[in-house]
Chains A and B, each alone.
Chain A
Amino acid sequence: MEALVKLSFYCFAAASIAFSASAVSYLAYAVGRVRLRQTALATSAGTTYVTRSAALEPGWTGAGRFGTMLAWFGVVFQGVSIALRTAAAGHLPLSNMYEFSSSFIFLMGLVYLLFERSYGVRQLGAVVLPITVGMIVYVWSLPVGLREVNALIPALQNRPLMTAHVSLAILAYAAFAVAFAAAVLYLVAVRRSVAWLPSPELLDDLGYRAVTVGFPAMALVLILGSVWAYQAWGTYWNWDPKETAALFTWLVYGVYLHTRSLRGWRGNRSAVVLLVGFAAVIFTYYGNYFFGGLHAYGGV
């Protein structure tokens, strides 16, 4: 058991390296190459003027492919890490911030790669993978004690509900991260005519599709959370800060959907709502640091 936990941690370390390298590759791919041009002009007087200019050029496609491959490595290592930990603990690793964030890293990578496949767009990785790496840095900064497997306190022992509630939350956050990335790229793509970025229409649509995954998942998170609260504490809604933060997030995406479907918002304004939505996601995710309340005992 000890060995499994250790091995799981080594896999996480390997995934960390793969994801970080992947983030670098994606960035290199999306930002493109900077080419310095030097023009020399000789005048009749015999002097030479030299002008230098920098131009952005499409990135090396190999870097993009490399990013994808490394991201898959990361996802596989992280998946193995989670599987080993599941074997060691006898339940999915979702009970403290270390475990929760590990699963988040895994799902964010996977959801992103699936979107990348279905839309054939690699540049998004330049936003999603750095977020993943940020998450990895956060996990490394957590107290080492959280890496050990501890038995659950009684209120967390409702396996099926807890697993569904928490893994759907992670899925929703991962989808919202992809939507956020699409919004960021959109805002870049319409401001600078960076020829090799995907078309703004595609990015706009991709953001919407990601929300159509995240929004129902988040609805289920709220519902299952209240069913669980009902079983554990006897009330299905406590107005607990973590609950209301999640509700707030959900409502922001509700505004996003309405402005699109009813007022025909696309593009810029939609993208800005997505940025607000993702800020709400982060706020909900790290809510434990702001609040006490029922959700605080997962151990940071």
Chain B
Amino acid sequence: MAQVSTPTAPARRARRSLPDLVVDRLWRFFCSVRIAIWEIAILALLVLIGTLRGSSVPQTVADAVPALAPLVERWYAWDVFHSLPFMVMLGLLSVAIAIGGMINRAPGIWQAIAHPTVATTHGFLRNAEASATLAAPAPPDVLADRMTDALRAAHYRVLTEERNGEIHLYADRFRFAKLGTFPFHLALILILVGGIVGARWGFRETEFIVPEGSVRGLGYGTGLSVRLDNFSDTYQENGQPRGFRSDLTILEDGEEVKRGVATVNRPLTFGDTVFYQSGFGQAVVLRITDARGQVLWDDAAPLDFVSSVNPDAPAAVIELPPAKIKLHVIAPDSNRGNAPEQDPLGLASGTMYFLPRPLGPDGPIGDAPGVVGRVGEVSEVAGLNVEFLRERRFTSLQVGRNPGIPIFVVASLMLVGGLAVTFYFPHRRVRGIVAAAPGGGSAATIVPLARRDWSAQRAFDRLSGEIEARLGLPLSRRRSPAEGPASATSRG
């Protein structure tokens, strides 16, 4: 607005400065309950859009309304959960939770817990949806004391205040449960923080392959390497897998630091690095030397590719930079359901097909022919001696380090604990006035602070019943504000 930025002294004094105004606007934006609800609703909508993307629903929409086809196309293409709008919504929501849900509410909630307003008015009592009135021959201060005792016996905190010869009374129960909203909402933010910490400072290797008997370095600056000592898989009679197990040795800077087992659901942990069993496959152990007898390769190679000529044939690619050759190793067809003639290479079990290919632009060979090698034998492949020592297996591990996990665990506890406290210990409140009755003695009227809250009114009925029983005084109840003036209820 023009006036705000006009640097005339009176204007500046009368109106607040621009930064002030912006801060104020933002603060109010984030405190707005209506906007907060919209934010949650929009987030829910985005989650729904992202969820449906993995289904056939958009396709059904496109089939029904062909005009929407281009939109559906974009829907399938949109990775909602990693998109900017989604991140922005999460950010907005976090700020709204912090400001509107917590900071802005804290003083009010604390006030209600520590220093609630005790005094009330007769009008308030008259207009309450329910009330209970007790009459006693004793003077007001005696009745007030007895009421206080009775409320305390029902585990209520009681505060009283004297006003114009009347005693005003405020009683509540489970007041600290009001604080449950803080751990709960904070937990929502912490879960996001945990996710960010995990993504920023953790790592995840989804396919860390170690052949049996071999050592592989993990990388990611961990200094760790892993040896697979043994791999075993078991099956049920119907062929369903029963379990996979890798016996692992973890080495740090070459030193053995831990031995252990990783199975599905029971990962192996070293420090904060976790090794999950995720898959397995075939490997071959080869020893490759060049014409001068120099060893280029003496290790297992996992067959973690498939051959391009037969997708049922596992394959490996071994790069041999000194010779500028990469060696393709193709195993026999591994699908027992296939007929033998489906394997174009016609390999028998115990054999491998070695196909040399140039590595880099100046590789020494062109399309050299492939060679079938037998286990235990040495084959000559493009001038190299390839000794096929034995077949092995490899394990495929997922390896992760996620420093966000402790945050997530703490947040989860806070979330569930906060919810339980909020829901199962509802803050119950009662207001009342004890006054001298016109015909002598005194009358106490109490009402619940429970507008349109059936459970709270029921709790109030129970409470007033307890007070009645404890004090042994006649008590009259009234429901709904429409029915008669309050005075009509007090019996003299």
Q: Does B54 contact A258, Cβ atoms closer than 8 Å? A: no
Determine whether B78 belongs to the interface, using a CB cutoff of 8 Å to chain A.
no
Binary interface encoding of chain B residues 238-253 relative to chain A, with 1 for a CB under 8 A from any of its CBs, else 0: 0011111000000000
Q: In the complex, what residues of A have CB within 8 A of residue B398's CB?
A: 233-234
8 Å CB contact of A266 from B47, B51, B452? B452
B residues 4-49 touching A (CB-CB < 8 Å): 33-34, 36-37, 40-41, 43-44, 47-48
B412 pairs with A255, CB closer than 8 A: no
| Given known contacts A151-B240, A215-B419, A293 and B54 CB-to-CB distance under 8 angstroms | yes
Interface flag for A223 (CB, 8 Å)? yes
Known: A205-B454, A220-B416, A258-B36. Contact between A236 and B264, CB under 8 A?
Answer: no
B residues 33-71 near A (Cβ < 8 Å) are 33-34, 36-37, 40-41, 43-44, 47-48, 50-52, 54-57
Interface Cβ pair total, 8 Å cutoff: 123
Chain B minimum-CB-distance residue to A154: B264
C-alpha gap A8/B405 in the complex (Å): 41
B301 sits at the interface (CB 8 A)? no
Taking the complex as formed, is A245 at the interface, i.e. its CB lies under 8 A from any CB of chain B?
A: yes
CB-CB under 8 A for A290 and B400, given A233-B276, A244-B47, A247-B47: no
Contacting A at CB under 8 A, from B406-423, are 408, 412, 415-416, 419-420, 423
Closest partner residue, chain A, to B419 (CB atom): A216
A292, B54: Cβ atoms under 8 Å?
Answer: yes
Any A CB within 8 A of the CB of B491: no
Contact bitstring B219-259, A, C-beta under 8 A = 1, else 0: 00000000000000000100011111000000000000000
- Of the candidates B33, B236, B400, B405, the one whose C-beta lies within 8 Å of that of A151 is B236
Cβ contacts under 8 Å, A201 to chain B: 452, 454
B362 in contact (CB, < 8 A)? no
Pairwise interchain contact A245-B51, C-beta atoms closer than 8 A? yes
B244 / chain A contacts, CB cutoff of 8 Å = 154
Residue B204 CB within 8 A of the other chain: yes
Looking at chain A, what size class is its interface with the partner chain? 35 or more
A254 CA / B204 CA spacing, docked (Å): 32
Q: Is the CB of A263 within 8 A of B33?
A: yes
A241 contacts B55, CB within 8 Å?
yes
Q: Which residue of B lies closest to A250 (CB)?
A: B44
Closest CB of chain A to B491's CB: distance in Å?
28
User: Which range contains the number of B residues in contact with the other chain?
Assistant: 35 or more
B98 to chain A: closest CB distance in Å?
Answer: 16
CB-CB < 8 A to B415: which residues of A? Answer: 219, 223
Q: Do A234 and B37 touch (CB < 8 A)?
A: no
Tell me if A157 and B274 are in contact (CB < 8 A): no
A251 contacts the other chain (CB 8 A)? yes
For residue A230, which residue of chain B has the nearest CB?
Answer: B405
Say if the beta carbon of A262 comes within 8 Å of chain B.
yes
B35 vs chain A, min Cβ distance (A): 11
A237-B199 Cα distance, complex, nearest whole Å: 12
B81 within 8 A of A: yes
Residues of A within 8 A of B416 (CB): 216, 219-220, 223
Find chain A residues with CB under 8 A from B266 CB.
231
Of all chain A residues, which has the CB nearest B53?
A241
Q: Cβ of B44 and Cβ of A252 under 8 Å apart?
A: yes
Most buried by A among B236, B242, B420, B423: B423
Contacts of A235 on B, CB cut-off 8 Å?
204, 400
In the complex formed, the residue of A with least CB distance to B266 is A231
B403 interface residue, CB < 8 Å from A?
A: no
- A280's nearest neighbour on chain B, judged by CB, is B48
A223–B414 Cα distance when bound, in Å, is 12
Tell me if A259 is interfacial: C-beta within 8 Å of chain B. Answer: yes
Q: Would you call A204 an interface residue if the criterion is a C-beta within 8 Å of the partner chain's C-beta atoms?
A: yes
| In the bound complex, CA of A53 to CA of B81 (Å) | 59
User: Given the interface contacts A215-B419, A236-B408, A248-B48, does A258 sit within 8 Å of B40 by beta carbon?
Assistant: yes
Which of A154, A231, A263 has a CB less than 8 Å from the CB of B37? A263
Residues of B within 8 A of A (CB): 33-34, 36-37, 40-41, 43-44, 47-48, 50-52, 54-57, 81, 195, 204, 206, 236, 240-244, 263-267, 274, 276, 278, 398-400, 402, 405, 408, 412, 415-416, 419-420, 423-424, 452-455
Q: Can you report 10 residue pairs joining A to B where beta carbons are below 8 Å apart?
A: A154-B242, A154-B263, A204-B452, A209-B455, A212-B424, A239-B81, A248-B47, A290-B55, A290-B57, A293-B54
**Known A223-B416, A234-B398, A244-B51; further 12 A-B contacts with Cβ < 8 A:** A150-B240, A154-B264, A155-B265, A202-B454, A206-B454, A212-B423, A219-B416, A226-B408, A234-B274, A235-B400, A248-B44, A251-B40
> 3 smallest A-B Cβ distances: which pairs?
A205-B454, A251-B44, A290-B55
